[in-house]
Amino acid sequence: MRRTLLCLLPLVAACSSPSEQASTVSSSDTAPATAEPMDTARPAIVNAQSDTLKTVRKRHIFSAPATPDVFTLALRGPNLLSSEATFTITTTGGQVIFREVLTAPDLEAALVYEMKDSTATQAEREAYVRRRMDEFFAEKNFQRPALPASATYQPGLADRTAWDDLHQRSDALGFHYLVGKEDRRVIAWSPLRKQVIRVQ
């Protein structure tokens, strides 16, 4: 009887299901799973410029008397009313000497002074943002001298020495722009500091 059972044991092992056989394999016998390599050859889905909605550029004398700088306002985001506008000034040599980020509401806020009704439609708001961008670098926004004789120093904008130096320069050029409804800013190139400073 014992001999019969021993003879049947190999037969039972051979007839067992594959899952039962697999469960007897130790984990040390299996090869570790490797992650699929990244596909770096495939082009990126998102283009760095794909979210650019509008760009306005103007070349104008500013930091140097003979070579104009490039003034750029680039609006990026999902739509005109939920976006950011990057304002940069770049020299002919490609150096960015000024950079400021404005929001769409910064460009849109002054619309309230032109509204005939209590609310504006989305189309009216978008049209106003486009117009503000188109007029941002209008010639009337550049003035010489940067600081009129009647200007007074405002602490917290530029250091007093650089401000006084610009105040004495009749050839210094200032650029005016509006942020929000009433924040009128004036920036100028400071030959003393070799950088753009806010003077008003």
Asked whether 91 and 112 are in contact (CB, 8 A), the reply is no
pLDDT class of 24 with cuts at 50, 70, 90: very low
Residue 14 lies in a domain: no
Asked whether 84 and 73 are in contact (CB, 8 A), the reply is no
Residue 36 lies in a domain: no
pLDDT at 44 over 50: no
| Phi, psi dihedrals of residue 94, rounded to the nearest 5° | 95, 5
Residue 16 lies in a domain: no
Residue 28 lies in a domain: no
Q: Which residue has the tokens 């460009």?
A: 107
Residue 88 lies in a domain: yes
pLDDT class of 77 with cuts at 50, 70, 90: very high
Per-residue pLDDT tens digits for 116-152: 788 899 999 999 999 999 999 999 999 999 999 999 9
Residue 22 lies in a domain: no
Say how many domains are in the chain: 1
Chain-centroid distance of CA 143 in Å reads 28
Other Cβ atoms closer than 10 A to 70: 16
Name the residue with higher pLDDT: 23 or 88.
88
Per-residue pLDDT tens digits for 158-184: 899 999 999 999 999 999 999 999 999
**Structural domain harbouring 108:** 52-198
Q: How much is the pLDDT for 88?
A: 98
CA geometry: angle 136, 55, 185, nearest 5 deg: 30
Nearest C-alpha neighbor of 80 from the set 111, 57, 61, 108? 108
Asked whether 83 and 53 are in contact (CB, 8 A), the reply is yes
